[in-house]
Amino acid sequence: MKFTSLHTLSLSLLTTAAFADGAFYGDPPDARHPWAIHDMNRAQPMRVEAGSFSSQDKPGTPPSDATILFGGNPNELEKWQSDKQPAEPTKWEVKDGVLQCVPGSGYIRTKEEFADCQLHIEWSAPSKVEGNSQGRGNSGVFLMGQVEVQVLDNDNNPTYPDGFASSIYGINPPLVNPLRAAGAWQTYDIIFRRPIFKDGKELDAGYITVFVNGVLTQDHTPLEGGGGHMKRSSPRAFPDKGPLKLQDHGNPVRYRNIWYRALPKRAIEGGDTSHMSEAATTTKRAEIAKTIREDAMKMEGTAKMLRLFESICYTENTEAKNNALLMLGSFITEVKALPTDKIESQKGEILRITKALRYLTKFKFVANDLEAKKDLEAIIKAKDWEPKKK
Ligand code: MG
């Protein structure tokens, strides 16, 4: 029982420390990270309602932020066109909620163009097994119309490994073969990042990760130019976006449940994911500091003071710092003027402010010999308020 209660107590103290104000807690922002560790000023992750998984009998539902390219409705053929110039309506067919390749009618492409994405697509090779190697149940999923994730019935069907089902065609074989038998539904979950070039220089090679029926088959595989048939490709710039294409390779392969979610920008292209450039970090830190100062202006008293102090952990700002120091001076004067028996009422404030000042001096946001800090620490010592270390 004793252990349990102690455990609960330390847990609740930790939670209180983490959630009470968020500030003055983890390591501050640095040159490549605009946020502090455990920073409550960082936006909460956007809410997405998860979809459901597919069964063989029934396709699942997409997550709430997905763009549906084919969900089973014949009208959705309007989202696709033949991959010809000029484009024509596709001759591929929708039957029983399934999009089917009509051999000889040609590739199809989405009207919509996009780039970096999480793509979900399900396919099924004809259950009547015909042909072998590349001639059996062949189709393909072309990201941006350029990189083929191979679709092929490789159930007991050897072929060149860099043209195997879920290979990056002409680039890299899958790690394993988790295919179901011909006729069954196969699921591809693909994470695609296009190559990024600037002034002819490769900033990011571009990568594909693929799960087949929930099993990893491509692990962040570099695109090396996107691959292709017979010819070795080399790293190259991709356009900003392109359509998704599906291949007609002469087999009536079926598709269902096709959707994607656009992925956020990488740090290298101005996104605010971790490890940003120093310039982008500086800009972001200034932005965060400004928001905090604006927030501080809506506050009063020590809350305002602490928020102003918090802002200088992101970007130096003499006005904010001097304002906070002035407010701190007033607080100390008030505390010192209190009769000894009344000082108890300020215990929480004193501890909270001291914690902030210790953080601010530790990370050199304010001078280490700050008189106010010494004053508050003297009170804490005299009152024996220092939290006991276990
Ligand atoms: Mg193919």
pLDDT tens digits for range 172-219: 999 999 999 999 999 999 999 999 999 999 999 999 999 999 999 999
Same domain assignment for residues 252 and 346: no
Domain end call among 266, 299, 322:
266
Say if 192 falls within a structural domain.
yes
Say if 55 falls within a structural domain.
no
Distance CA 257, CA 197 (A): 33
Same domain assignment for residues 25 and 115: no
CB-CB contact of 275 with 32 (8 Å): yes
Say if 57 falls within a structural domain.
no
188 CA to centre of ligand 1 in angstroms: 14
Say if 53 falls within a structural domain.
no
Say if 194 falls within a structural domain.
yes
Same domain assignment for residues 314 and 370: yes
138 CA to centre of ligand 1 in angstroms: 5
Instruction: Name residue 321's amino acid.
Output: K
Model confidence pLDDT, tens digit, residues 47-94: 999 999 999 999 999 999 999 999 999 999 999 999 999 999 999 999
177 CA to centre of ligand 1 in angstroms: 16
Same domain assignment for residues 288 and 310: yes
Same domain assignment for residues 132 and 281: no
Q: Which domain holds residue 182?
A: 67-266
Same domain assignment for residues 85 and 218: yes
Whole-prediction pTM value? 0.89
Say if 83 falls within a structural domain.
yes
96 CA to centre of ligand 1 in angstroms: 24
68 CA to centre of ligand 1 in angstroms: 23
Same domain assignment for residues 248 and 340: no
Which CATH number does the domain housing residue 245 bear? Answer: 2.60.120.560
Confidence at residue 273, expressed as pLDDT on a 0 to 100 scale: 81
Same domain assignment for residues 201 and 280: no
152 CA to centre of ligand 1 in angstroms: 7
Token pair of 285 as six digits = 């830190």
Token pair of 172 as six digits = 């890299």
Confidence at residue 21, expressed as pLDDT on a 0 to 100 scale: 62
Confidence at residue 340, expressed as pLDDT on a 0 to 100 scale: 83
Same domain assignment for residues 219 and 278: no
Say if 180 falls within a structural domain.
yes
CB-CB contact of 249 with 55 (8 Å): no
CB-CB contact of 188 with 120 (8 Å): yes
Same domain assignment for residues 334 and 225: no
Say if 259 falls within a structural domain.
yes
Domain end call among 236, 266, 296:
266
**How many structural domains does the chain have?**
2
Confidence at residue 13, expressed as pLDDT on a 0 to 100 scale: 43
Q: What is the DSSP letter of 321?
A: H
DSSP string, 209-229: EEEETTEEEEEEEE-TT---S
Same domain assignment for residues 257 and 278: no
Q: Which residue ranges in the chain fall short of pLDDT 70? A: 1-21, 274, 390
182 CA to centre of ligand 1 in angstroms: 16
List, in sequence order, the alpha helices (H) in the chain: 2-20, 278-296, 301-311, 318-337, 347-362, 371-383
Same domain assignment for residues 138 and 202: yes
Token pair of 149 as six digits = 């994730």
Confidence at residue 155, expressed as pLDDT on a 0 to 100 scale: 94
Domain end call among 200, 235, 266:
266
224 CA to centre of ligand 1 in angstroms: 18
Who surrounds ion ligand 1 at CB < 5 A? 138, 140, 247, 249
Cis peptide before 63 (omega within 30 of 0): no
